[in-house]
């Protein structure tokens, strides 16, 4: 085989990817450059767009030079595999996420392929395209539903910026699950941090208070947590995030909470 691969998760899709990897060029980096379209390359992790069996897919590559995860992956503890399993678990609990298809170990790292999402974009991109008032309210409502479903499943995202929220087919999908965990302690504080991340991004985007309230209402309705308790828990975390954003030169509009 030109680019040797070991399937760790998702045997059917993994076998399909193995056959694709057996085509030139030799070397994963060169193969990725030729067969995928780059979407993002941050912190040593590559995210690209890829078609497999006429289906749009996300192709994420974790190079070994950045993550020494080959042995942990084989032992079922590596970051790529944890991310794959988290996506599977969240999907099983009804959370809108990109469906994980396969996790494959190659000589220079680990590849995770998931189902691509059609139309739309992340919340920053869609918001700056000037959605209608009705669409903006729906976006906030669905974001509240998605985060509530995540927390109801026992998870927290831990990096819930608008880059991690994708708007597709009138739904909010949660992506970038590398930091997502099921916290054992201080769960309320972890949940508050997720909520505060969404809120400070909304203030940065100048979302009107009445529009953002759709997010809060959807969240409290689905989690069954008292609204006052939610807001009280979020405020201290939100103040710290606001200070951090201002220190970075980010302008914030009126508070949404």
- Does position 103 have pLDDT exceeding 50, yes or no? yes
- Does position 84 have pLDDT exceeding 90, yes or no? yes
* 60-74, 125-139, 230-244: least confident range: 60-74
List Cα–Cα distances, 9 to 44, 77, 98, in angstroms. Answer: 22, 13, 15
% of the chain with per-residue pLDDT over 70:
94
**pLDDT tier for residue 210 given thresholds of 50, 70 and 90:** very high
CB 81 within 8 Å of CB 103:
yes
Summarised one tens digit per residue, pLDDT across range 36-73 is 999 988 767 899 999 998 899 999 998 876 445 555 55
- Does position 158 have pLDDT exceeding 90, yes or no? yes
How far apart are the C-alpha atoms of 113 and 178, rounded to whole Å?
A: 14
Q: Which domains does the chain have, with CATH numbers?
A: 6-115 (3.30.200.20), 121-247 (1.10.510.10)
Summarised one tens digit per residue, pLDDT across range 86-98 is 999 999 999 999 9
How far apart are the C-alpha atoms of 39 and 12, rounded to whole Å?
A: 25
Average the pLDDT over 233-254 and give the result.
96
16 phi, psi to nearest 5 deg: -65, -40
* 101-105, 148-152, 219-223: least confident range: 101-105
Question: Which residues share a beta bridge with 61?
Answer: 46, 111
Q: What is the pairing mode between strands 109-115 and 121-122?
A: unpaired
């Amino acid at each position: 085989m030109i680019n040797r691969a070991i399937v760790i998760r998702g045997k059917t899709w993994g076998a399909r990817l193995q056959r694709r990897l057996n085509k030139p060029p030799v070397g994963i980096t060169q193969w990725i450059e030729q067969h995928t379209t780059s979407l993002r390359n941050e912190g040593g992790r590559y995210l690209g767009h890829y078609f497999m069996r006429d289906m749009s897919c996300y192709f994420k590559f974790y190079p070994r030079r950045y993550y020494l995860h080959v042995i942990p992956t084989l032992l079922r503890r590596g970051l790529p595999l944890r991310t794959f399993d988290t996506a599977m678990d969240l999907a099983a609990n009804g959370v809108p996420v990109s469906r994980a298809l396969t996790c494959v170990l190659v000589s220079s790292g680990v590849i995770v392929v998931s189902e691509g999402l059609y139309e739309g974009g992340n919340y920053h991109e869609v918001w700056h395209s000037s959605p209608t008032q009705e669409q903006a309210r729906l976006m906030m409502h669905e974001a509240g539903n998605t985060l509530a479903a995540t927390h109801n499943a026992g998870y927290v995202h831990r990096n819930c910026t608008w880059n991690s929220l994708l708007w597709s087919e009138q739904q909010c999908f949660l992506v970038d699950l590398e930091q997502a965990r099921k916290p054992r302690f201080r769960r309320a504080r972890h949940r508050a941090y997720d909520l505060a991340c969404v809120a400070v991004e909304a203030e940065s985007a100048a979302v009107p208070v009445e529009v953002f309230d759709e997010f809060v209402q959807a969240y409290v309705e689905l989690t069954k947590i008292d609204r006052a308790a939610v807001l009280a828990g979020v405020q201290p975390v939100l103040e710290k995030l606001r200070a951090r954003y201002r220190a970075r030169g980010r302008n914030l509009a009126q508070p949404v909470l």
